[in-house]
Structures are given as structure tokens and as C-alpha cells.
Amino acid sequence: MNSRKIELLVGGFILAGLIAFAVLVIKVADIDPTQQAQQYQLTAYFDNIGGLKVRAPIKVGGVVVGRVAKVELDVTELVPKVTMSIDSRFNQFTDTSSVSILTSGLLGEQYIGLTPGFILDEENYLADGDVVEDTRSAVVLEELIGQFLYSSDEGE
């Protein structure tokens, strides 16, 4: 009977460990399983996306308003195409808004910075499936170093 209690305690300990591991994975991946918010999709085309990944945050002034849903190469234009999922609570972005690929710190993660545009009239809000025209590509550190090295050679 004593070994049965030990087996139950060990099983309970393992179950608690698995639950703790699942919670840790959800927190690290920044997944909210309770969130059932409606989202709308916007598309943007860039010259260079650097190391932008799927699920990268989309921020307005440091506040996360959405996530990158898909990163792919547009086969007709041969440029990177980024599909963004924006929370429908934030549906006041106009077609004069711009998106930039930014980096947290010097070597940190890349994210999309969304800058709201100005309002001309009530009919120019971005809706599901729209394309953001004003884009700024990622700044690649290697290209900056290369430009610096080549520009310093010309000065000699």
C-alpha cells in the first residue's frame, strides 16, 4: 500500500511538471489561448525584410497591435511580401499610414513599426486585405558596415 502512495505522488509530480512546462511554453511564445479577438489583414511590400519572422510584433509607439502572419516572396514582383494581422480594436489606421521594419536594440529582434497617417476623410481607413503603400525596409548591419568601409577607402 505504501508503494501505491509513492507511485501516485510521483505521477502527480510529473503531471505538475508537464503543466508548468506547458505554461512556460505559452508565456515564452507569447501566445494567448484565451484571446478570441477578431483581426484584419494588411499587406506590405518591402525591398529587404532582414531577419523579420512570422509572429513578430507590430507596434505603434511601443504598444503591440498585431503580429506578422506570413512572410513570403511575391512571385510577380520578386520582392518580399509581409502579411500582418491587426487586432480589430485598432481599425483607425488610414491609407496614409506607414510601416517600417525596426530592430529592438543593436542586435535585438526585428518588429514592424506602424506609424498612423493623417485623416483626410472618413472613407480612407485601411480595411481587411488592403495594401500599405508607404514602407521602409530593414536596416541591415552588414550593409551599413560595408558602406562605412568603402566610404573610408575613398577618402584616402
pLDDT digit string, tens, across residues 81-128: 999 999 888 888 888 888 998 888 767 788 899 988 887 666 688 888
Residue 150 within any structural domain of the chain:
no
> 63 with 105, same domain?
yes
Give the CB-side neighbour count of residue 71, counting CA atoms within 13 A.
16
Q: Are residues 24 and 57 in the same domain?
A: no
Provide the domain limits for residue 106. 39-142
Same domain for 31 and 43?
no
Residues 19 and 44 in one domain: no
In 3D space, the residue among 98, 53, 47 whose CA is nearest the CA of residue 77 turns out to be 47
Contact 91, 111 (CB under 8 A): no
Shared domain for 127 and 111, answered yes or no, is yes
* Separation CA 82–CA 52 (nearest Å): 9
Q: Residue 4: is its pLDDT beyond 70?
A: yes
Chain centroid to Cα 48, Å, comes to 15
Per the model's pLDDT, the better-predicted residue between 21 and 144 turns out to be 21
**Interatomic CA distance for residues 114 and 13, integer angstroms:** 45
For residue 156, being part of any structural domain is answered with no
Per the structure, how many domains does the chain have?
A: 2
Q: What's the grid cell of residue 145?
A: 558596415
Sort strands 79-87 and 39-45 into parallel, antiparallel or unpaired. antiparallel
Question: Residue with C-alpha cell 505559452?
Answer: 26
Residue pair 71/53 in contact by the 8 Å Cβ criterion: yes
Give 33-77 pLDDT, tens digit per residue: 555 568 889 999 998 888 888 989 999 988 899 999 999 998 898
Distance between CA atoms of residues 47 and 155, nearest Å: 29
Run of H or E including 24: helix 2-28
